[in-house]
């Protein structure tokens, strides 16, 4: 009835032996991520920074020696020009124009007119102009969304499990999120509203993974009343290991084509998701579980003498 | 693992409805007509192409203008009542002045009554300060009502103007207290629309002043200099007009672009309502030979000489192009905005970009889906087949729900669908692993499957409810892309829970009943 196994039955890997190693590696990665986020800093998109981003598609390959002076003559401050996907496409990014919200609009009009005059038959597949008010709000809303999502999950897990589970899961999520931010810092991918969505997706995926392991821990806590917590957590991870790998593997495979095939915006998104799946899955085992062990020892269960006999094996659950 | 006939029929029907609702998105146009449901998924602008504009209603500017009128009113009232005042000004959102003779403060208050309004629902509040100062502040209720009203009327006028340009299915909605979201599907070059929406279009007629002050001298009392409109060929020129509005544009009933029969120039012909016709007639009768300035948003379009009294109908000339005359007619027909509109965010996406995203999205989902199906069937064999069937039904139901609710599918939404696939796979993996585990403990097939489902259920529910709860909060708080993402995932969680816990379980139950397997593990 069933096919081959991803993980052999009765695998017993002593994951909790590496609990400190896991936490230390994670802490180091997260701290370097935070440093990366400030130095050199994130490549903030116009969603959060304000300004203008225009993609132009030209009839002939883009002649930067002609385009740059033409646009610089408009005196629109700092400007980035970048080939975009093909030699015919260029992305023009302007810093936020001083002088309020309507200043962005005036800049767009000027650039459009200049392109029409100097490069006939140019089309603009995408124009985005964001003023200071809106960019500030988008940033605030993005942070709020992340914060609220975090609190909601803390609350739910606290309610359904014990507080140790909720705190451990939330702390792990925080570490996960900082690492994702680090990925944005390292790759220089544009950090914008879509990035917030990516982080939320990874948070959702990661918490899902934690709930599955915790659920098994909770079940085993009822089942083996005398087993030391450390052994019990190891057992729970091993029991769910097959499903963890199967689920992560399929989701990874489902997203992989998107990362390979799609155009730049969606591709960056997909790549971040792939990294996020690896981070989210490994953190269930190497971070969420050790934190639970540290918090739960002596609270969820009395520390039992080493080698305590297994109890309740074969007892029917529920 | 027993289902009654009615349960089976109900579940089957639910799946069928889901598939039927999803069908319009899959079949071609010629089949579409024969389907009971025709709604397709509503694509967001980032996928369909079009222009998104976020407008801010400048209610403060409107309030400032209103205070200026109040200031004029106060001056008039005090003069009539012979009350001497100094320092009449607008400061801190109020009209302030000092009464010279402090014994007359009560007289001043009484004189201001007509401006303040009825005692029951006053429009302004009079407060006294030091040194005989009085301040007229709009009451909070009134100020809020006015701001509210200004936004509501702006939306109405924005809609009228956009409708006139022939954009298909524009979406215009209020956002927050003073913002308007305008979504224009298919619009690639929103310049004309931005110009139309950015114009307040306050039209008024003023007589040109007869005085000729020395160059460089300030405008004499009661008059002001107004610039000419640049596109009418008067760039740089200015006109000395009387401040007093002789007739204002709110009395227009119609405006149409046309050509002047004598010189073939483009003009805008307009019609007044009865009040406007009377006022306009009176002004033109009294002032034949003088020039009447036609002023739009404090710029003079033209100032023709009045040749004869005009009643009812008039003509605006100003060296227009055909498009310029048309746009002015649209603006005048739609009426003036109660407050200036500012564009604070613009996002325009060409149709190709969105189509590319959809195409790669579909390819990626198909290939990803194929991977998932292959994986499931390889590792879980027959149970994998059931799970894959469940996945297909799940996707159909999700597409069906999205079509039914007409929620916009955006780029993040496509990712939401992918995540749903992941959640759906996870539920099935959890169930199958659990069944296998129970079978290894020595349970018989029926018992193993039953226990497997019931134990996996609590995990599935916990895992999904956490995400569902989070998404609902995001939906309430979030805006734009985050909202679309939250909707897709919330719906996806519900359909994937339904298919995993109910539909796949039914498949397995039906199979158990027919095949009666002796053991699940070889």
What is the residue extent of each domain of chain B? 5-44+350-515, 61-138, 199-347
Count other Cβ atoms within 10 Å, centred on residue A301: 17
Please report, for chain A, the start and end positions of each structural domain, with discontinuous segments joined by +. 15-44+135-296, 51-130
| pLDDT the model gives residue A133 | 85
Mean pLDDT value of segment B218-229: 82
- The two structure tokens encoding residue B85: 């005042």
Lowest mean per-residue pLDDT among B40-54, B228-242, B284-298: B228-242
CATH label, A51-130, candidates 3.30.1370.10, 3.50.30.10, 3.20.20.70, 3.30.70.3400: 3.30.70.3400
3-state SS class at B89: strand
Pairing of strands A43-44, A190-191: parallel
* Distance in angstroms (rounded) separating the CA atoms of residues B489 and B414: 10
Show contacts of A35-44: CB within 8 Å, 24+ apart. Answer: A36/A181, A36/A182, A36/A185, A36/A186, A37/A178, A37/A181, A37/A182, A37/A184, A37/A185, A40/A185, A41/A185, A42/A181, A42/A184, A42/A185, A42/A191, A43/A184, A43/A188, A43/A189, A43/A190, A43/A191, A44/A190, A44/A191, A44/A192
* Distance in angstroms (rounded) separating the CA atoms of residues A152 and A140: 18
* Distance in angstroms (rounded) separating the CA atoms of residues B248 and B227: 18
Give B200-214 pLDDT, tens digit per residue: 888 889 988 888 777
Answer yes or no: same fold for B5-44+350-515 and B199-347: no
Q: Note the ipTM here.
A: 0.83
Residues 233-292 of A with CB under 8 A from B: 239-240, 242-243, 246-247, 249-251, 253-258, 261-263, 265-266, 269-270, 273
Q: Does B425 touch chain A (CB under 8 A)?
A: yes
pLDDT above 60: residue B232: no
* Distance in angstroms (rounded) separating the CA atoms of residues B422 and A277: 11
Tell me the chain A residues in contact with residue B353 when contact means C-beta distances shorter than 8 Å.
55, 125-126
* Distance in angstroms (rounded) separating the CA atoms of residues A50 and A107: 13
Q: Where are the alpha helices (DSSP H) in B208-304?
A: 274-286
| pLDDT the model gives residue B236 | 54
| pLDDT the model gives residue B34 | 78
Highest mean pLDDT: which range of A24-28, A38-42, B113-117, B132-136: A24-28
Among B368, B436, B482, select the one facing A257 at the smallest CB separation.
B368
- DSSP notation for A186-200: HH--EESHHHHHHHH
Lowest mean per-residue pLDDT among A138-147, B43-52, B145-154, B473-482: B473-482
CATH of domain A15-44+135-296: 1.20.1640.10
Provide the CATH topology of domain B199-347: Gyrase A; domain 2 (3.30.1360)
* Distance in angstroms (rounded) separating the CA atoms of residues B387 and B355: 31
| pLDDT the model gives residue A215 | 92
Instruction: Report the phi/psi class of residue A41: left, alpha or beta, with left for phi > 0 and alpha for psi in -120 to 50.
Output: left
Among B363, B466, B521, select the one facing A207 at the smallest CB separation.
B466
| pLDDT the model gives residue A309 | 42
Tell me the chain B residues in contact with residue A123 when contact means C-beta distances shorter than 8 Å.
188, 350
User: What is the rounded average pLDDT for all residues in chain B?
Assistant: 86
Whether the ω angle into residue B284 lies within 30 degrees of 0, i.e. cis, is no
Lowest mean per-residue pLDDT among B49-58, B188-197, B231-240, B242-251: B231-240
CATH label, B61-138, candidates 3.40.109, 1.20.1630, 2.40.50, 3.30.420: 3.40.109
Give B367-392 pLDDT, tens digit per residue: 888 888 998 899 899 999 999 999 99
pLDDT above 90: residue B123: no
Instruction: Report the phi/psi class of residue B406: left, alpha or beta, with left for phi > 0 and alpha for psi in -120 to 50.
Output: left
Residue indicated by tokens 């994951």: A15
Report domain B5-44+350-515's class: mainly alpha
Which run of H or of E encompasses A106? helix A101-118
CB B228 within 8 A of CB B234: yes
Q: Which residues of chain A have pLDDT under 50?
A: 304-318
Residue indicated by tokens 């800093």: A41
Stated pTM of the model: 0.82
Mean pLDDT value of segment B261-270: 88
């Amino acid at each position: 009835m069933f096919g081959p196994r991803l993980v052999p039955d009765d695998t017993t890997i002593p994951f909790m032996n590496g609990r400190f190693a896991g936490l230390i590696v994670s802490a180091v990665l997260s701290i370097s991520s935070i440093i990366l986020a400030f130095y050199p800093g994130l490549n903030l998109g116009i969603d959060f920074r304000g300004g203008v981003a225009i993609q132009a598609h030209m009839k002939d390959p883009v002649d930067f020696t002609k385009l740059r002076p033409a646009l610089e003559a408009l005196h629109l401050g700092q400007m980035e020009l970048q080939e975009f996907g093909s030699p015919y496409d260029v992305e023009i990014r302007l810093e936020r124009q001083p002088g309020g919200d309507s200043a962005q609009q005036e800049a767009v009009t000027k650039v459009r007119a200049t392109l029409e005059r100097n490069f006939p038959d140019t089309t603009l597949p995408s124009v985005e102009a964001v003023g200071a008010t809106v960019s500030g709000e988008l940033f605030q809303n993005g942070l709020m969304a992340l914060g609220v999502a975090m609190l909601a999950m803390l609350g739910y897990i606290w309610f359904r499990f014990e507080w140790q589970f909720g705190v451990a899961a939330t702390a792990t999520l925080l570490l996960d999120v900082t690492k994702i931010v680090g990925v944005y810092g390292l790759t220089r991918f544009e950090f914008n509203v879509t990035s917030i969505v990516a982080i939320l997706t990874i948070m959702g995926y990661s918490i899902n993974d934690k709930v599955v392991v915790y659920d098994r821990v909770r079940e085993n806590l009822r089942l083996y009343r005398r087993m030391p917590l450390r052994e019990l957590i190891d057992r729970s991870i091993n029991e769910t290991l097959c499903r963890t790998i199967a689920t992560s593997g399929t989701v990874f495979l489902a997203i992989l084509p998107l990362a390979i095939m799609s155009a730049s915006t969606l591709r960056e998104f997909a790549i971040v998701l792939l990294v996020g799946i690896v981070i989210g899955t490994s953190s269930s085992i190497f971070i969420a579980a050790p934190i639970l062990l540290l918090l739960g020892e002596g609270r969820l269960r009395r520390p039992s003498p080493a080698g305590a006999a297994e109890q309740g094996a074969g007892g029917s659950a529920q | 693992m027993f289902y009654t006939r009615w349960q089976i029929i109900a579940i089957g029907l639910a799946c069928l409805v889901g598939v039927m609702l999803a069908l319009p998105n899959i079949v071609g146009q010629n089949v579409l007509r024969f389907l009971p449901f025709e709604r397709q998924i509503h694509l967001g602008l980032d996928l369909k192409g079009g222009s998104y504009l976020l407008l801010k209603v400048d209610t403060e500017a409107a309030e400032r203008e209103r205070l200026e009128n109040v200031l004029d009113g106060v001056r008039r009232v005090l003069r009539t009542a012979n009350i001497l005042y100094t320092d009449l000004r607008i400061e801190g959102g109020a009209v302030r002045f000092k009464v010279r003779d402090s014994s007359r403060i009560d007289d001043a208050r009484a004189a201001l009554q007509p401006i303040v309004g009825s005692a029951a629902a006053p429009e302004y509040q009079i407060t006294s300060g030091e040194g005989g100062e009085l301040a007229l502040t709009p009451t909070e209720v009134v100020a809020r009502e006015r701001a509210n009203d200004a936004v509501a009327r702006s939306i109405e006028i924005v809609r009228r103007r956009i409708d006139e340009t022939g954009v298909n299915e524009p979406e215009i909605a209020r956002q927050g207290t003073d913002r308007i979201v305008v979504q224009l599907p298919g619009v690639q070059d929103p310049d004309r629309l931005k110009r139309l929406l950015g114009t307040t279009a306050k039209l008024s007629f003023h007589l040109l002043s007869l005085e000729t002050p020395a160059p460089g001298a300030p405008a004499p009392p009661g008059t002001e200099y107004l610039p000419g409109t640049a596109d009418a060929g008067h760039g740089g020129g200015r006109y000395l007009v009387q401040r007093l509005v002789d007739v204002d544009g709110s009395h227009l009933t119609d405006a149409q672009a046309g050509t002047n029969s004598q010189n073939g120039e483009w003009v805008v012909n307009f019609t007044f309502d009865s009040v406007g016709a009377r006022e306009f007639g009176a002004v033109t009768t009294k002032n034949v030979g003088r020039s009447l300035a036609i002023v739009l948003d404090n710029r003079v379009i033209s100032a023709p000489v009045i040749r004869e009294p005009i009643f009812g109908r008039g003509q605006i000339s100003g060296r227009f192009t055909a498009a310029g005359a048309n746009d002015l007619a649209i603006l005048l027909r739609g009426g003036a905005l109660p407050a200036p509109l500012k564009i604070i965010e613009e996002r325009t996406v060409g149709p190709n970009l969105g189509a590319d995203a959809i195409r790669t999205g579909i390819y990626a989902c198909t290939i990803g889906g194929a991977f998932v199906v292959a994986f499931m069937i390889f590792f879980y064999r027959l149970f994998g087949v059931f799970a894959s069937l469940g996945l297909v039904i799940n996707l159909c139901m999700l597409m069906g729900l999205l079509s039914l609710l007409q929620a916009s599918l955006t780029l993040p939404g496509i990712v939401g669908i992918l995540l749903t696939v992941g959640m759906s796979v996870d539920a099935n993996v959890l169930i199958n692993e659990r069944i296998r585990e129970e079978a290894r403990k020595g349970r018989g097939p029926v018992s193993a499957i039953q226990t497997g489902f019931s134990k996996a259920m609590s995990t599935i529910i916990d895992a999904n409810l956490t995400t569902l709860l989070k998404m609902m909060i995001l939906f309430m708080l979030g805006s734009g892309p985050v909202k679309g993402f939250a909707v897709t995932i919330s719906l996806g969680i519900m359909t994937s829970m339904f298919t995993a816990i109910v539909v796949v379980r039914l498949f397995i139950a039906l199979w158990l009943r027919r095949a009666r397997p002796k053991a699940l593990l070889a």
